[in-house]
């Protein structure tokens, strides 16, 4: 299995990177962009696991290390390797 | 007082801290590699600044799982003093020994400059020997020093006297202009509830002798040695 993990700053948490990038996009003429939030994308290989086991491990990985739950939230999807 | 100075891969203020406590202050001290598991025989621990594990993932996020950190947790529970400076502060926050989080500076820039700290009180061994009517001048050097806490946590920290230092003007006024990085409430340093763990972004160990431009930081270590 493979986990695709998305970590983003929580709602209401200041995201200076996102703010700056949003400003740059508007300066480039893309006035439609009202907000940019920047996070992380992580891919994790979990060969020889069941979907259930992969979900369990990925959740643990996010809770214990990959995300700081004070300031970040995460979501992930488990896909079959091709 | 016998200081343990923790060393992680990427620590770079460890020697400054060692020099300040050993050679300037004249106390005892030794380096403790992060793979070690015990702090037996030490009276205080310094978690120095630097870029432990290259700041990968988040500042301090990997270092907090180093073997020595279990001993640091125990040390904290026993009420022994722990001071985390800069990256050390970030590690303590990630380890859950101090509240909040340290995110990118508001400016997104690395900031290296002298700042002025105003002690909030004298309620810990780190601050007992400081003068709350003056400011202490020392450098900051960080990319992620923006101390972030919710309004509720700020309220709680203020009520339990856990704020150790705020960024201020040289005269001691806590103003928005004196806030270098966007920290909530101009907070430069916080204590745990029990007041034996301190985290701060500025570098007292880099301001411990006149030859480096300020010796204001020495007072912090002197206070620890005297009141610890």
B195-206 pLDDT tens trace: 999 999 999 999
Place of tokens 């500042």: B59
CATH of the domain at A55: 3.30.1280.10
Dihedral Cα B210, B211, B213, B218, nearest 10 deg: -40
Q: What's the gap between Cα B154 and its chain centre?
A: 18
Interface of A with B (CB under 8 A): 13-14, 16-17, 20, 65-66, 68, 70-71
Tell me if residue B142 is catalytic: no
CB–CB contact A14 B108 (8 Å): no
- CA distances to A6, B148, B187, B198 from B184, rounded to whole Å, are 27, 6, 6, 17
| Chain A residue with the nearest C-alpha to that of B184 | A14
B184 contacts B148 by C-beta, under 8 angstroms: yes
Mean pLDDT over the full length of chain B:
96
- CA distances to A20, B3, B162 from B138, rounded to whole Å, are 29, 21, 21
Q: What total number of domains does chain A contain?
A: 1
Q: What's the gap between Cα B159 and its chain centre?
A: 21
Beta strands in chain B (DSSP E): 2-7, 28-33, 44-47, 82-85, 101-103, 111-119, 136-142, 146-148, 163-168, 187-191, 197-200
B68-127 tens-digit pLDDT: 999 999 999 999 999 999 999 999 999 999 999 999 999 989 999 999 999 999 999 999
Contacts of B10 (CB under 8 A, 6+ apart): B50, B51, B52, B53, B54, B55, B87
B15-55 tens-digit pLDDT: 999 999 999 999 999 999 999 999 999 999 999 999 999 99
Chain A contact probe: residue of B63, B103, B142, B181 with most A CBs at under 10 A: B103
Of B57, B106, B182, the CB nearest to A66: B57
Show the DSSP H helices in chain B as ranges.
14-18, 68-77, 87-94, 151-159, 218-227
Contacts of A64 (CB under 8 A, 6+ apart): none
Return phi, psi of residue B20, to 5°: -60, -45
Tell me if residue B203 is catalytic: yes
Domain residues for the domain of A14 are 2-79
CB pairs under 8 A between A and B: 32
- CA distances to A25, A28, A39, A60, B36 from A21, rounded to whole Å, are 6, 11, 12, 31, 42
Q: What's the gap between Cα B108 and its chain centre?
A: 21
Measured distance CA(B212)–CA(B121) in Å, rounded: 27
Tell me if residue B226 is catalytic: no
Q: Is B101 within 8 Å of chain A by CB?
A: yes
Task: Quote the longest CA-to-CA distance of chain B.
Answer: 44
Show the DSSP H helices in B95-167 as ranges.
151-159
Q: Is B111 within 8 Å of chain A by CB?
A: no
CB atoms within 10 A of CB B211: 7
- The C-alpha of A64 sits at a distance from chain B's nearest C-alpha, in angstroms, of 10
- The C-alpha of B101 sits at a distance from chain A's nearest C-alpha, in angstroms, of 7
Three-state DSSP class for residue B114: strand
- The C-alpha of A65 sits at a distance from chain B's nearest C-alpha, in angstroms, of 7
Of A14, A20, A66, the CB nearest to B148: A14
Mean pLDDT over the full length of chain A:
94
**Assigned CATH topology for domain B2-227:** Rossmann fold (3.40.50)
Q: What's the gap between Cα B100 and its chain centre?
A: 14
- The C-alpha of B150 sits at a distance from chain A's nearest C-alpha, in angstroms, of 9
On chain A, the residues whose CB falls within 8 A of the CB of B58 are: 68
- pLDDT > 80? residue B4: yes
Catalytic residue among B34, B94, B120, B203: B203
- ipTM value greater than 0.85: no
Per-residue pLDDT at A14: 81
Measured distance CA(B146)–CA(B101) in Å, rounded: 8
Work out the pLDDT band at A82, boundaries 50, 70, 90.
low
Q: Is B19 within 8 Å of chain A by CB?
A: no
CB atoms within 10 A of CB A14: 16
Of A16, A17, A68, the CB nearest to B58: A68
CB–CB contact B65 A65 (8 Å): yes
Measured distance CA(A82)–CA(A48) in Å, rounded: 13
Tokens matching residue B88: 């050390």
């Amino acid at each position: 299995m493979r986990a695709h993990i998305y970590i983003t700053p929580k709602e209401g948490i200041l995201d200076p990177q996102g703010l700056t990038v949003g400003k740059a996009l508007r300066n480039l003429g893309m006035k439609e962009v009202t907000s940019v939030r920047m996070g992380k994308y992580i891919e994790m290989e979990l060969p020889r696991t069941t979907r259930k086991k992969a979900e369990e491990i990925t959740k643990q990985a996010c809770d214990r290390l990959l995300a700081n739950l004070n300031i970040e939230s995460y979501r992930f999807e488990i896909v079959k390797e091709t | 007082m016998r200081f343990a100075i923790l060393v992680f891969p990427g620590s770079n203020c460890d020697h400054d801290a060692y020099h300040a406590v050993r050679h300037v202050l004249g106390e005892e001290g030794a380096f403790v590699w992060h793979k070690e598991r015990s702090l037996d025989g030490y009276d205080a621990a310094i978690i120095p600044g630097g870029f432990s594990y290259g700041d990968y993932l988040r500042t301090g996020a990997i270092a907090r799982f180093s073997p020595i950190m279990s001993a640091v947790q125990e040390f904290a529970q026993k009420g022994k003093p722990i001071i985390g400076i800069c990256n050390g502060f970030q590690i303590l926050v990630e380890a859950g020994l101090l509240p909040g989080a340290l995110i990118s500076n508001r400016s997104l820039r690395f900031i290296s400059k002298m700042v002025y700290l105003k002690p909030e009180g004298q309620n810990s061994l780190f601050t007992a020997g400081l003068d709350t009517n003056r400011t202490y001048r020392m450098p900051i050097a960080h990319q992620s020093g923006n101390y972030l806490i919710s309004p509720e946590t700020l309220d709680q920290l203020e009520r339990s006297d856990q704020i150790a230092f705020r960024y201020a003007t040289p005269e001691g006024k806590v103003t928005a202009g004196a806030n270098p990085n966007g920290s909530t409430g101009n907070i430069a340093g916080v204590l745990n509830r029990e007041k034996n763990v301190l985290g701060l972004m500025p570098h007292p160990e880099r301001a411990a002798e006149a030859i480096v431009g300020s010796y204001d930081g020495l007072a912090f270590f002197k206070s620890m040695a005297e009141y610890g």
